[in-house]
Structure 1
Amino acid sequence: MTVILLALGAAFGAPLRYMVDRAVQARHDSVFPWGTFAVNVIGSLILGVLIGGAAHNAVPSPLVTLLGIGLCGALSTYSTFGYETIRLFEDGARFYSLFNAAVSVVAGLGAAFVGVSLAEAIWA
């Protein structure tokens, strides 16, 4: 059952990532990968809420598998983040490359922390 829940979440998360990435990137006239940044921060926030809720026994394990591992795992993307960061550097956009690396890590961790804190406020 766990694999089925994971697959269902991923089947929804992967196309959602593509659609959000394209929609966000289309609104920005910049080489900075705003779409990937957005999906990674959103995924980190959702995962933080789920894990925080699970820590208080408010979010059941199957829901963490479906939404946390499946949806968030497919929605967020470390590989694309890595590729785009290197591509920016190789294309001469070194500031954007370093900015992407630093801000993505800080924003992703910050979003996860906010998500856990939000879960604490709701379920503690």
Structure 2
Amino acid sequence: MNWLAIFIGGGLGSLSRFGISYLFKSFQWQKTFPLATVLTNVLACIILAITVYLLKDKINEQPWLYSLIGIGFCGGFSTFSTFSLESVQLFQDKLYFYAFMNIAASVLICFGLMLFIAKQQG
């Protein structure tokens, strides 16, 4: 059952990731700052934190939900590899400010959100 939940969640997450990237592709500033990737990773962190911390009782009762949401959806939705590639490309294009902003925003916002939601649970 877990593998099926991961498969379905991963597919839904990947399609959602594609949808956000597609929506942001038409924005001119997307070429200098990868907002679609930052947004996707922030949303994935929020979803994962809610799943782990706010839905923990439900997850304990129905462990396949974590496979569906936490492993599958968030795994297919978030993208550390694209974040890394885009950061390297910004450095290569000598867009140092945007590269550092991408790294800082991605790491600090995602970590901060995860920490904030965790602290809300005691």
TM-score (norm: length of structure 1): 0.86
Q: How many residues align?
A: 119
User: Which residue number in structure 1 is paired with residue 54 of structure 2?
Assistant: 53
Q: CA RMSD in A?
A: 1.9
**Paired residue type of 1:68:** G
Encode CA deviations 1:61-99: one digit per residue, 9 max, x unaligned.
Answer: 211110111001110000000000000000110111111
| 1:82 corresponds to which of 81, 84, 90 | 84
| Identical-residue share of aligned pairs (%) | 29
Instruction: Classify the secondary structure of the residue corresponding to 1:26.
Output: coil
List runs of 5+ in structure 2 lacking aligned partners.
Answer: none
- Aligned-pair CA distance for 1:2: 1.1
Q: Is residue 74 of structure 2 the alignment partner of residue 72 of structure 1?
A: yes
Q: Is residue 14 of structure 2 the alignment partner of residue 19 of structure 1?
A: no
Once residues 22 and 118 of structure 2 are traced to their aligned partners in structure 1, the CA distance between those partners, rounded to angstroms, is 28
List runs of 5+ in structure 1 lacking aligned partners.
Answer: none
Q: Is residue 110 of structure 2 the alignment partner of residue 108 of structure 1?
A: yes
**Paired residue type of 1:41:** V
Once residues 42 and 21 of structure 1 are traced to their aligned partners in structure 2, the CA distance between those partners, rounded to angstroms, is 13
Encode CA deviations 1:20-75: one digit per residue, 9 max, x unaligned.
Answer: 122134345241000000000000000001110354x2333211110111001110
- Aligned-pair CA distance for 1:15: 1.1
